[in-house]
Amino acid sequence: MSFTRNEKLSIYNGLASTASVNMVNGYIPLFAISVLGATNSQIALITSLPSIIGMLALIPGAIWLNKSKSKKNFTVASTLATRLLFMLILFVPFFSETDYAAWLLVGLIALLNFPGALSNLSWQSMIGDLIPEERRGNFFSSRNKFNTMAALVVTLSTGLFLSLYDKTDPFPYQVLFAAGFLFALLEGLYLFKHKENLTMTEKNNKINENKSFSLSIFHHKPYRAFLVCALLYNISAQMGWSIFSIYHIKEANATALWFSLFSVTNQIAQIISMKWWAKFADRWGNNMLLFVATAGMASAPVLTILSTNLTYITLINVWIGIFVAGTNLLLFNQLLKATPDATRTNYIANYNFLLSIVGFIAPQFGVFLLNALGMNSAMSLVSMARFAAAFSFLFVAVKLEKRQLAEAL
């Protein structure tokens, strides 16, 4: 497909963002455990605590964004602030001889999610205004494909680089944090080059004024249906986040190079399957395809625990990657579709607010299950919860089909 100027800039921005984030983000658990000696509880907090900070940010964030004359400038400022705080993690190893180095990492990861939540909210709102609905499916699938290809290259290169050093050596991580910030500057530059419709922004801001977090948004049926399904899925998905990291490091003894192979094979599967999800979503609808994608995600925990063989786990990540591609693409597309254009910021803010609550509770509950029941039982329960969530999308898809059929008659 041919791309407009904003779409090209969004792709370049996505590539720079992918490079900035993927250099270290996937290796944070390995860094925390191997370099800083973090405990299971601290790993769970690294996953969940940012959600509470993000939740607190969304309350004033939606108000600030609605009052802002430029969503673009708001997005640039919050994005650069997030990346700057992320770079500060490179100083944490200087405290590794103390008892609080891991806690310092937990604190920084949590703190950077304040501007991070604002960046995510403003980007979603901005890009929803800039990309017309009829172009979103193909454009976002293309953008996600390019981002995934970039993530593949960056992740593999990072894993090879880290493998040159002892897993307890902090130096390579510090180099990557610094390099990530340089890519963040490019990310901010491409964001700033976007051309936005300031007249539309000002008009929507007047509509949104004093409506943030109003209960009236739950009266919008498409949004309400999406919200219930998406929250159920995210609860079940995020229960497993910390458990997967702990399994890979402590049960399977994965190194940085294996972590990169897990990620690369996952990303290759995403690249291959991305267009398929966009194509069939146009034919069958987002909700029906979300049922397929989330049901596939539900198989990940039980398949993973069948073996600690690292080659096997790598192959399982190919299977998981197919469904990750669909879930990420379709959830975002359905969120934009289920929200009215004029008041999109408030709807997205409410969604992210509720998602933040889930993001704090679910990983903690997952680690609680791990400590109480053991790895196999915890992973099996996560799979069961994910399957249950997947059927909520099927229920909505069938209900919508019946309603459309009734209206046609």
For position 1, what pLDDT does the model report?
Answer: 54
Residue 207 to residue 222: CA distance in whole angstroms: 20
Show Cβ contacts of residue 149 under 8 Å, excluding neighbours closer than 6 positions: 267, 271
Q: For the segment 384-394, what is each residue's pLDDT rounded down to a tens digit?
A: 999 999 998 88
Q: What is the CA radius of gyration of the chain?
A: 21
Range with top average pLDDT, 4-8, 213-217, 234-238 = 234-238
Orientation angle between helical segments 286-298 and 256-284, nearest 10 degrees: 150
Is 50 in contact with 109 (CB distance < 8 Å)? Answer: yes
User: By percentage, how much of the chain surpasses pLDDT 90?
Assistant: 22
pLDDT on residue 2: 63
3-state secondary structure of 268: helix
Cα 321 to Cα 144: distance, rounded to the nearest angstrom: 13
Q: Could you tell me the pLDDT band of residue 349, with boundaries at 50, 70 and 90?
A: confident
Residue-level pLDDT at 307: 92
Distance CA 345, CA 205 (A): 9
Please give the Cα distance from 296 to 45 (Å, whole number): 27
pTM of the predicted model over 0.75: no
Q: What SS3 class is residue 383? A: helix
- Residue 180 to residue 185: CA distance in whole angstroms: 9
Residue 385 has, within 13 A of its CA and on its CB side, a CA count of 22
How far apart are alpha carbons 254 and 242 in whole angstroms? 15
Domain ranges in the chain are 5-408
Residue 405 clears pLDDT 60, i.e. is over it: no
Q: Which residue has the higher pLDDT, 168 or 137?
A: 168
The pLDDT, as a whole number, for residue 70 is: 81
Residue 131 has φ and ψ, to the nearest 5°, of: -105, 115
In the structure, what pLDDT confidence band is assigned to residue 15 with cuts at 50, 70 and 90?
Answer: very high
The pLDDT value recorded for residue 396 is: 81
Q: Which two tokens stand for residue 282?
A: 């146009």
- What's 251's DSSP letter? I
Q: Which of 75-84, 165-174, 335-344 has the lowest mean pLDDT?
A: 335-344
Residue 215: pLDDT over 90: no
Percent pLDDT > 70 in the chain is 91
Q: Is residue 206's pLDDT more than 90? A: no
Helix H or strand E segment including 88 = none
- 5-408: CATH topology is Growth Hormone; Chain: A; (1.20.1250)
Is 118's pLDDT higher than 70? Answer: yes
Token digits of residue 39: 């405990």
Q: What is the pLDDT of residues 126-145, one digit of tens each?
A: 887 777 777 777 787 788 88
Residue in the block written with tokens 């398929």: 276
Q: Is the pLDDT of residue 258 over 60?
A: yes
Q: Does 285 have pLDDT greater than 90?
A: no
Residue 189 has pLDDT above 60, yes or no: yes
Q: What does the alpha-carbon distance between residue 93 and residue 96 come to, in Å, rounded to a whole number?
A: 5
Residue 286: the pLDDT is 80
* pLDDT for residue 214: 56
Residue closest to 41 by CA, chosen among 407, 378, 365? 365
Q: Which residues, at least 6 apart from 59, have a Cβ–Cβ distance to it below 8 Å?
A: 212, 213, 353
